[in-house]
Chain A
Amino acid sequence: MNLTLEALHLVLPGGHRALAGMLLDVSRGERIAVIGPSGAGKTSLLRVLGTALRPSSGKLAISGVDPWSLPAGALRHLRSRIGLIHQAPPLPPRQRLVTAVLAGRLGAWGFVKGLASLAYPADIDGARAALARLDLADRLFDRCDRLSGGQLQRVGVARVLYQKPDLLLADEPVSSLDPQLADQTVGELHREARARGVTLVASLHAVDLALKWFPRVVGLRDGAVAFDRPPVRVTDAMLRDLYATETPVIPVQGVEPLQRPEPGPRATRRGAPPLCR
C-alpha cells in the first residue's frame, strides 16, 4: 500500500494537538522507521495510518483513497488489510495464544468461521507457524497471562504476521525485549515485509535499531516531520537535536556506538530515499 499524508492535523479528544501538519509520502513496499522523543506523535501517526483515529484536518490517502470517505463495509475490508502491532499488546489475559493469534484474521474470515474458531481453533498449524517465527511455538495452548511481558509482545507480533496485512504498522514493537530478541524480531518484520512486498512503518525507541534495519528514517518532533532521509545521512547532531527536549543522550538499546549501514550505490545518491538495500 502506498500512503500519502498532507498537512495532516490530529487533535485528540482532550484537546492535545498530536499531529500538526504531518507531511509524508510512502511508496508501496517501503520500510520506514519513525523515531522521536515520547509525545512526538509516533503512536498517533501509526493509529492514523491504521484508520483507528480520524484526522481532524488535512489529507490522508491509503492506496490513493481517503479511508474516511469509504462506506462502512469497504472501511472494514481495508482495516482487515492493515495490521498494527501495539506497544502494549491488546490481549485478554485469559485468552490462549492460539486464539489470540488467530484473531488476527477475523476481518478476513467470515462471521461464522470467526465464531466456529472459538469452539475449535480454525487454523492451529497457521497459528503455530506464526508463533514459531518468534520462538513461541511451544506455548501455543498456554494462556496469555502465563507469559512474560516480552513474550506477550512477541505474541502481538505473531498475530499481525498471521494476519498477513498489506500494510504492516508497528508501534514500538520491541520495547520490552532484550537487545538480541529485539534485533531478531525487527528482522522478522523485515523478512515478512520484503518477502511479500508490503509496506512497513515502525516506530522505534532505540535509534540504533532504526538506523541498522531501515532504508528510510523519519524523525518526528511536536507532531511534525523533523527529518526524513536514509540512515547514512542521519547525523548525530540531528539526533541530538531531535531528542534535545527529552534527554541529552540518544536512546539506543545496544552498548556499541551508533552504526550506520555501509552506503550502498543507491543510498549515496541524493534525492529520493532508497527503496531497498
Chain B
Amino acid sequence: MTAVQRDPVLVARVMLTVAGLALLWPAIELAEFDPRQLFAAGNLQTMGRFLSTFFPMALGADFLGLVLRSTLETLALATAGTALAIVLALPLAMAVSESLSISRVGPARRVWVGRLLRAPLRALLIFMRSIPEIVWALLFVRAVGLGPAAGVLAIAINYAGMLGKVYFEIFEAGDTRPARAVLETGGGRVHAFFYGVLPVALPELVSYSVYRWECAIRASVVMGFVGAGGLGQQMELSMRMLEGGEVSTMLVAFFALVMLADALSALLRKALT
C-alpha cells in the first residue's frame, strides 16, 4: 500500500470551484447585469428627478396620524402572520426532521416507512414557500377582501414554508445526540424534541424567527401594493398620486420599524445565550 501524498480532496475542490464559476457566468449574462448602465448620463438624470420629488417630506399632523396608524397595522400584520407561521412550521419541521425519527435508531427495518411519510410533508413545505407571498396575498384578497387579514394569511402560509425548512435544518445541524439519547431510552418524538432538540436549537430558532418577522414587516409593504393593508397600501396610494414627500415620510417610518426589529433580535439573542 502506498501512502497518499496529496490531500485526496484537492481534485474535487478544484472541480467544484470551476463548476461554480462556469454556472455563475451565464447567470450574470442572462440577468442582463451591466453596472455601466447605472452611470449613463440619461439614466442618472431620471433617477435624480424621481428622488427629488421625495423632498420636502410630508409632516402634516393628519398625515402623521395616518402614518402612525398604518405603521401599527403593518406591525400587527407582520406579527400575527409570523406567529401563525411559527405555529404551522414547528410541527411540520418536527415531522420531517430525521434526528427525531424513532425508526432511524438502529436503523430499524421499517425506516423506509418514515422516509415515505416525510417526502410529501417536505413537498408541502416547498409548495408553501415556492409560491411568493404576493401571489398568496392576491389570492386571499379575493377571499377575505381588501385589508390586513389577507396579508396575515399570505405571510402565515409562505413563511411557514420557509420557517419549516430552516427549522428542520437547524434541528439537524445542531448536536443531535441529546435527542437520540431520549429516543434510545424509549422516549417519543415529541419528548425528544423538547428534551433534546429545543434546548440545543433555541437561540438559533429565536434569532431566525425574529429575522423572519423583520422580513414580514418588509414583505407586508409589498403586499400592501396589492391591497393587503398597512403602510404598503398607503405608500401605493401616495405613489400613484405622485406625492413623493409622503412616500419619504413613510420610508422613514419603515426604517424605524426595521431598526426596532434589529434591536429586538439583538436583545433576545443576548438574553438566550
Which residues of A pack against B, CB within 8 Å?
50-54, 68, 72, 75-84, 86, 88, 90-95, 99, 103-104, 106-108, 111, 114-115, 118, 163
Residue of B nearest to A163 (CB): B185
Question: Given A92-B175, A92-B196, are A83 and B185 also a contact pair (CB < 8 Å)?
Answer: yes
Which of these, A50, A111, A118, contacts B184 with CB under 8 Å?
A: A50
27 A–B contacts from the bound complex (CB under 8 Å): A51-B106, A51-B184, A52-B105, A52-B184, A53-B106, A54-B107, A68-B109, A75-B108, A76-B188, A78-B186, A79-B186, A80-B185, A86-B177, A88-B177, A90-B175, A91-B178, A92-B175, A92-B200, A106-B182, A106-B186, A106-B187, A107-B185, A111-B190, A114-B190, A115-B190, A115-B191, A118-B195
The answer for the CA separation of A93 and B201 in the assembled complex, in Å, is: 11
8 Å CB contact of A92 from B102, B183, B199: B199
Q: Which residues of B contact A (CB under 8 A)?
A: 102-103, 105-110, 175, 177-178, 180-188, 190-191, 194-196, 199-200, 202
- Nearest CB on B from A9, distance (A): 15
Min CB distance A112 to B, Å, is 10
Q: Are A68 and B182 in touch, CB under 8 angstroms?
A: no
Of B185, B188, B190, B202, which is within 8 A of A94 by CB? B202
The answer for the CA separation of A90 and B102 in the assembled complex, in Å, is: 17
Give complex CA distance A84, B190 in Å: 21
Looking across the interface, which residue of chain A has its beta carbon closest to that of B113? A72
Question: Which residue from A72, A91, A104, A111 sits with its C-beta under 8 Å from B185?
Answer: A104
The answer on a CB contact under 8 Å between B195 and A99 is yes
Assuming the contacts A52-B106, A114-B187, asked whether A95 and B182 have C-beta atoms less than 8 A apart, the reply is no
Expressed in whole angstroms, the Cα–Cα distance for A77 and B181 within the complex equals: 15
Shortest beta-carbon distance from A66 to chain B in Å:
12
- How many whole Å from A155's CB to the nearest CB in chain B? 12
Task: Say whether, besides A54-B106, A111-B190, A106 and B185 are in contact (CB < 8 Å).
Answer: yes
A75 to B184: give the CA distance in the assembly, Å: 10
Residues of chain B contacted by A52 (CB below 8 angstroms) = 105-106, 180, 184
Q: Across the interface, do A111 and B108 meet the contact criterion of CB distance under 8 Å?
A: no
